[in-house]
């Protein structure tokens, strides 16, 4: 680009301490104290610490994706998402994916593998969301909903799920991330002689 | 699917009140009180209220995307992202996109339009992130970084940005959302007789 914008090499600030600002049950809010390595200046920044999360791209043998619809208190509305939840301390992401899938939908699958890891909000949140693909998903267990969970489970053709995402019917940021990272794998699976997605519901 | 999972129609809980749990400068944490319409049961849930955000897919005439790299205190590390930030109260999303683009990179562009709106975290956050495409982006202004902002600005071929996202070099959830929603538009632009992306840097 002829007119590449001016820019600076960003420094890595050094953390010099942190104190608890508020315990919020699902997460802690900290005041983190940082020193700029060049200017020596010290400043406090608000950050949230929360456990890591996992979201699951759960693909049935018929090449449908499992979706869950539930009431979400943050947006005060229903939200259409893929299964997922909070990981337990020290839990393996693939095991966490199978656990959340089983608890929310009663389904389990095979060939679980990591599609990627994303940061829900690098500016203020420390945690990671693991995005996991599970194949050959089918009903194997009873549901184990947490208190206050009330979940509608759908199985929709993959391409329809992408269309819903682009049309604004799916708005959860981390679900859309999973769809972005699943896309190359889906192209491969779709062309690979596996059963074609059906168009009915 | 022959064995569609069991599920329930999720109820819309009714908000009966909310109290401030913690003021955290960038956001407030509230205790929101909800009543289940069927069971009558009342429960409190932690939610965060923050201003809406905007993220900008800024496309140069040479079909490169502007990226910004900066230190992010949440993850205590550098992060490669697209320009964006916090919207002002009552600000139009397209105007906010142009403002953030100008402040962070000194660039402005034309033909701004909304790619979509996502919820950063429907479970606990009330706010929306607007994803805006701006075309014909070029350097027009001086930088106006906020205090403590120190930003490296890059312009990279679009397909390279997608490859970086899939390889885990870009991990910001809302940036990946913008790439998902920009993809159909990019396919159209790429094939539309507009200048082809160059492969150099």
Model confidence over B104-151: pLDDT tens digits?
A: 999 999 999 999 999 999 999 999 999 999 999 999 987 777 777 789
**Chain A nearest C-alpha distance from B193 (Å):** 19
Q: What is the dihedral of CA A37, A39, A44, A48, to 10 degrees?
A: -40
Those residues with Cβ within 8 angstroms of residue B55's Cβ, 6 or more apart along the chain or in another chain: B81, B82, B83, B84, B97, B129, B130, B131, B132, B174, B175, B177, B178
Smallest Cβ distance to B120: which of A45, A152, A173? A173
Rounded CA gap, B64 and B191, in Å? 15
Please report, for chain B, the start and end positions of each structural domain, with discontinuous segments joined by +: 14-49, 53-191
Per-residue pLDDT at B198 = 43
Contact A129, A57 (CB under 8 A): no
**Chain B nearest C-alpha distance from A201 (Å):** 8
Contacts of B81 in chain A (CB under 8 A): 122
pTM score, two decimals?
Answer: 0.92
Those residues with Cβ within 8 angstroms of residue B17's Cβ, 6 or more apart along the chain or in another chain: B32, B33
Q: What is the dihedral of CA B177, B181, B183, B189, to 10 degrees?
A: -130
Q: Which residue of B has its CA nearest to A70?
A: B10
Record: contact B120-A116, CB cut-off 8 A: no
Contacts of A123 in chain B (CB under 8 A): 72-74
Record: contact A12-B71, CB cut-off 8 A: yes
Per-residue pLDDT at A99 = 97
Name the burial class of residue B158, with classes exposed (0-12), middle (13-18) and buried (19+) by CB atoms within 10 angstroms of its CB.
buried
Q: What is the 3-state secondary structure (H, E, C) of chain A?
A: CCCCCCCCCCCCCEEEEEEEEEECCCCEEEEEEEECCCCCCEEEEEEEECCCEEEEEEECCCCEEEEEEEEECCCCEEEEECCEEECCCCCCHHHHHHHHHHHHHCEEEEEEEEEEEEECCCCCECCCEEEEEEEEEEECCCCCCCCCCCCEEEEEEHHHHHHHHHCCCCCEHHHHHHHHHHHHHHHHHHCCCCCCCCCCC
- B53-191: in CATH 3.40.50.300: no
Contacts of A34 in chain B (CB under 8 A): 73
Record: contact B106-A64, CB cut-off 8 A: no
Helix axes B158-166, B173-191, angle to 10 degrees: 140
Contacts of B100 in chain A (CB under 8 A): none
Per-residue pLDDT at B6 = 64
**Chain A nearest C-alpha distance from B110 (Å):** 16
pLDDT in tens, chain A (201 residues): 445 566 778 999 999 999 999 999 889 999 999 999 988 899 999 999 999 999 999 999 999 999 999 999 999 999 999 999 999 999 999 999 999 999 999 999 999 999 999 999 999 999 999 999 999 999 998 777 777 778 999 999 999 999 999 999 999 999 999 999 999 999 999 987 554 444 433
B-interface mutation test, from A119, A136, A178, most B Cβ less than 10 A away: A119
Contacts of B123 in chain A (CB under 8 A): 72-74
Contacts of B36 in chain A (CB under 8 A): 148
Those residues with Cβ within 8 angstroms of residue B59's Cβ, 6 or more apart along the chain or in another chain: B65, B109, B133, B134, B135, B136, B137, B158, B189
Residues B146-190 have pLDDT tens digits of 777 789 999 999 999 999 999 999 999 999 999 999 999 999 999
Record: contact A48-B74, CB cut-off 8 A: yes
Smallest Cβ distance to A129: which of B66, B72, B173? B173
Rounded CA gap, B38 and B41, in Å? 8
Per-residue pLDDT at B196 = 44
Q: How far apart are the first and last CA of chain B?
A: 48
Record: contact A73-B148, CB cut-off 8 A: no
Per-residue pLDDT at A195 = 47
Residues B55-95 have pLDDT tens digits of 999 999 999 999 999 999 999 999 999 999 999 999 999 99
Has residue B35 got a pLDDT over 60? Answer: yes
Smallest Cβ distance to A107: which of B5, B66, B119? B5
Smallest Cβ distance to B74: which of A70, A124, A152? A124
Per-residue pLDDT at A162 = 98
Per-residue pLDDT at B3 = 56
Record: contact A119-B64, CB cut-off 8 A: no
Q: Which residue of A has its CA nearest to B15?
A: A76
Label the pairing between strands A84-86 and A53-58: antiparallel
Rounded CA gap, B130 and A66, in Å? 26
Q: What is the 3-state secondary structure (H, E, C) of chain B?
A: CCCCCCCCCCCCCEEEEEEEEEECCCCEEEEEEEECCCCCCEEEEEEEECCCEEEEEEECCCCEEEEEEEEECCCCEEEEECCEEECCCCCCHHHHHHHHHHHHHCEEEEEEEEEEEEECCCCCECCCEEEEEEEEEEECCCCCCCCCCCCEEEEEEHHHHHHHHHCCCCCEHHHHHHHHHHHHHHHHHHHCCCCCCCCCC
Superfamily name with CATH number, domain A53-190: Nucleoside Triphosphate Pyrophosphohydrolase (3.90.79.10)
**Chain A nearest C-alpha distance from B190 (Å):** 18
């Amino acid at each position: 680009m002829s007119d590449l914008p001016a820019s600076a090499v960003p420094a890595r600030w050094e953390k010099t301490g942190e104190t608890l600002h508020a315990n919020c049950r699902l997460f802690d809010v900290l005041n983190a104290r940082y020193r700029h390595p060049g200017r020596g200046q010290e400043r406090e920044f608000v950050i949230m610490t929360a456990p890591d999360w996992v979201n699951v791209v759960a693909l049935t043998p018929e090449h449908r994706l499992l979706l869950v619809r539930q009431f979400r208190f943050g947006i005060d509305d229903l939200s259409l998402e893929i299964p997922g939840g909070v990981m337990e301390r020290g839990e393996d992401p693939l095991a966490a994916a199978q656990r959340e899938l089983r608890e929310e939908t009663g389904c389990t699958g095979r060939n679980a593998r990591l599609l990627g890891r994303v940061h829900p909000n690098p500016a203020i949140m420390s945690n990671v969301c693991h995005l996991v693909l599970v194949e050959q998903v089918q009903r194997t267990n009873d549901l184990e909903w947490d208190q206050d969970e009330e979940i509608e489970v759908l199985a929709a053709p993959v391409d329809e799920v992408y269309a819903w995402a682009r049309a604004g019917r799916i708005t959860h940021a981390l679900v859309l991330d999973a769809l972005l990272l699943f896309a190359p794998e889906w192209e491969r699976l779709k062309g690979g002689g596996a059963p074609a997605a059906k168009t009915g519901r």
